[in-house]
Structure 1
Amino acid sequence: MDTINVRGWTQPVSRLMMGSDFFRLDNYGEVAALLDEFAAHGGNCIDTAHIYCGGQSEQVIGRYLEECGARDRWVILTKGAHHGPDGEPRVTREHISRELETSLERLRTDHVALYALHRDDPATPVGAILEWLNEHVEAGRIGAFGGSNWTWRRLAEANEYAERHGLAGFSFSSPNLSLAKANEPFWRGCVSADAETLAWHERTGLPLFSWSSQARGFFTGRYTPEVRDNADLVRVFYSDANWERMRRARLLADEFGVPVVQIALAYVLNQPFPTCALVAPRNSEELASSVAGSRIRLTPGQVRWLDLAAETPDLPSAPAI
């Protein structure tokens, strides 16, 4: 499996990241077997968060890391400082420290390779946030940090501050990026990558870790304009532009001889800057499909055409994998 490098952490990171928001104590055996398969495919990064499954996700990962006997081969990304149940911001020194301590206890470790703030609080100066995060880097609790659902402007402001003050800055961003463009946030406070975001990442080379990289099943073939039984999917992804993206993805998939959902994943992984895709396969078949999609190589012209930025496709006779 292909990997990328993240500033602040020496170990390469697999471009497929295993999502864990379905890891629970009561399905530990299923999860452990899936992680074994993921590792066999060359995957090494697991994405989790303080809030996932009420903390069970981190607990399951901690148990697996202890039992697998290969803790050092894994790159763990966890997140903290999600807003509270009433939407109140929790990007504070106290919340970050307390939640990180709890996460490390659940993960049965004294450090994580990657740490992300799950949400931003634009009312909090980026300088203060960077000072807090750098304390944890210096203490060895985190290797590199990033922002999940931070706008590119706030990331740029933060990294400019870090450079001026000799601090470690944000090493990655984790918004939603998918071939289907969101009409509105899936959850309150979430950020989806728009054209300006992509242009900024191309200029800076900052890695992007995409959640909902396959648009939550939009490209699986289960959905059409007439099928409207998933209210969230209708609200977020149903649009004329996205149905046209679907049509183009289907044409390219037919040309390549692959499922449409693999073309959608390839779109994320063939951007002109480093990207990783968070995926959440529930079984061997879904995992194998994600791995196959990660191997498809699209030309820049194909990526632009899929995203409605070019009028004519650049179709090869066979996929480059």
Structure 2
Amino acid sequence: MARHTMTRDAQREREAVELEFDAEVIDEPTDVLVESNPVSGPIRVPRKAALGDTGIAVHPLALGGSVFGWTLSHEASFAVLDRFAGLGGELIDTADAYASGRSEQIIGAWLADRGLRDRMTVMTKAGRHPEHRGLSPRSLQGAVDASLERLRVERIDVLFFHGEDAEVPLEESLGAVDRLITAGKVRSIGASDFSPERLIEARVLAANGLPRFQTVTTAYNLMDRRGFEGAPELVAHAQGLAVLPYFALAGGFLGGGVRRRTDLRHDARGARLARHLGRRGHRVLAVLDDIAAEHGVTPATIAVAWLQSRPTVAAPVAGVSRPEQVDALLAAGSVQLQRSELVELDRASA
């Protein structure tokens, strides 16, 4: 395949961010006009992604908020959120357990300060906050009320169950959410890291009148495929669930900034990245480099575009540490990967 004249070394110097096909290309994006807002003027963004049957359609990339209030300060988080909104981003992912609630507080303060609540879709998770652990009706009620206060909103757009709770019957948890939906505090629900068996149980309960999961989030990327592909993917497809894969860039590895062990930091993140430094990891990075050079984008952009090409994926979730890194993530929605490029990526990452 012919490649752009940009050298692989030049491509590697670009910043790493933690960030049924037809015969030619994946569905061609259709631009959508986004109205003016305090951050930017009218802008055009790629096709929208539907979040199940929620009636919500958004730019196909979610900004992860796990670093807000943890590794990013209030001001730095605002700068990232400003860049995200200014470039057409609409979907923000957080959890009540992220930085013990500080992530939600920062997002809530930003929404209020910028006046963007009506344009942004906010997803949060309940079940792991120290004060509201588990999925009992009492915990869910307390968690939702606390999240609403921190986010400064009247309703949570998508509330995720943050992992399974073996001690609480799922029927009780869904019943509690049903009351929260009726009260107008929650619009829709999703499951985070649920097993296929638990999702099937949830669908049976939904058939009997309880709220139905519309979305599911799980770890999934070019380096971590086996955990999702197979039964989880089949169940998600059969149930029409919108998949929102987190760790979209394998902890930053797919951004291309780590090529050898001397590039690793001696911390927990470095240890996580080290497991990808093998033949398979280098093979994936080489293909990402080539395809990125062809399209004139970064390897991170191609890694996210690959996820967006998957039949069940609605919007990958990725976080950044600096505002300028947002560009590569959102750019993926405008990349048209050819069938041959998808085959290359599939083979390299198999």
TM-score range, shorter chain: 0.7 to 0.9
Distance 1:226 1:28, change over 3 A: closer
Matched, 1:30 2:76: yes
The C-alpha deviation readout for 1:122-151, integer Å capped at 9, x for no partner, is 454332222122121111111010011112
Distance 1:166 1:299, change over 3 A: farther
Equivalent position SS for 1:18 = strand
Counterpart code for 2:251: R
Matched, 1:173 2:173: no
- Residue 205 (structure 1) aligns with: 240
Aligned length: 299
Counterpart code for 2:136: T
What is the alpha-carbon distance in structure 1 between the residues aligned to residue 73 and residue 79 of structure 2?
Answer: 10
Aligned-pair CA distance for 1:199: 3.2
Matched, 1:277 2:316: yes
The match for 2:154 among 105, 110, 124 is: 110
Equivalent position SS for 2:220 = coil
The C-alpha deviation readout for 1:10-45, integer Å capped at 9, x for no partner, is 332221111112222983233223322212211111
Counterpart code for 1:74: M
Say which structure, 1 or 2, has more relative contact order (CA 8 Å, 6+ apart).
2
The match for 1:218 among 253, 265, 284 is: 253
Matched, 1:264 2:307: no
8 Å Cα contact 2:92/2:123 also seen in 1: yes
What is the alpha-carbon distance in structure 2 between the residues aligned to residue 242 and residue 199 of structure 1?
Answer: 26
After TM superposition, the structure 1 = structure 2 runs for residues 1-321 of structure 1, keeping only pairs within 5 Å, are: 1=45, 2-7=47-52, 9-24=54-69, 27-82=73-128, 90-163=134-207, 165-181=208-224, 192-224=227-259, 226-227=261-262, 229=265, 230-235=270-275, 237-299=276-338, 302-308=341-347
8 Å Cα contact 1:62/1:107 also seen in 2: yes
Which piece of structure 1 moves more, 5-14 or 271-280? 5-14
Distance 1:310 1:78, change over 3 A: closer
- Residue 186 (structure 1) aligns with: none
What is the alpha-carbon distance in structure 2 between the residues aligned to residue 207 and residue 122 of structure 1?
Answer: 24
Counterpart code for 1:200: V
What is the alpha-carbon distance in structure 1 between the residues aligned to residue 160 and residue 178 of structure 2?
Answer: 13
8 Å Cα contact 2:96/2:129 also seen in 1: no
Distance 1:292 1:231, change over 3 A: same
Aligned-pair CA distance for 1:161: 2.0
8 Å Cα contact 1:118/1:148 also seen in 2: yes
The C-alpha deviation readout for 1:37-58, integer Å capped at 9, x for no partner, is 2122111111111111121111
Structure 2: state its 5+ residue gaps: 1-44
Q: Work out the percentage of aligned pairs sharing the same amino acid.
A: 25
- Residue 14 (structure 2) aligns with: none
Equivalent position SS for 2:58 = strand
Aligned-pair CA distance for 1:178: 0.6
Aligned-pair CA distance for 1:266: 0.9
What is the alpha-carbon distance in structure 1 between the residues aligned to residue 289 and residue 76 of structure 2?
Answer: 32
Equivalent position SS for 1:307 = helix
Equivalent position SS for 2:335 = coil
What is the alpha-carbon distance in structure 2 between the residues aligned to residue 284 and residue 32 of structure 1?
Answer: 9
The C-alpha deviation readout for 1:208-258, integer Å capped at 9, x for no partner, is 1111111111122222354454112224x4454444333332332233333
The C-alpha deviation readout for 1:283-306, integer Å capped at 9, x for no partner, is 232111112123212245543441
Distance 1:160 1:12, change over 3 A: same
What is the alpha-carbon distance in structure 1 between the residues aligned to residue 198 and residue 339 of structure 2?
Answer: 28
What is the alpha-carbon distance in structure 1 between the residues aligned to residue 154 and residue 99 of structure 2?
Answer: 22
Equivalent position SS for 2:128 = coil
Distance 1:307 1:125, change over 3 A: farther
What is the alpha-carbon distance in structure 2 between the residues aligned to residue 168 and residue 309 of structure 1?
Answer: 40
Q: CA RMSD in A?
A: 2.8
Counterpart code for 2:99: C
Distance 1:226 1:103, change over 3 A: same
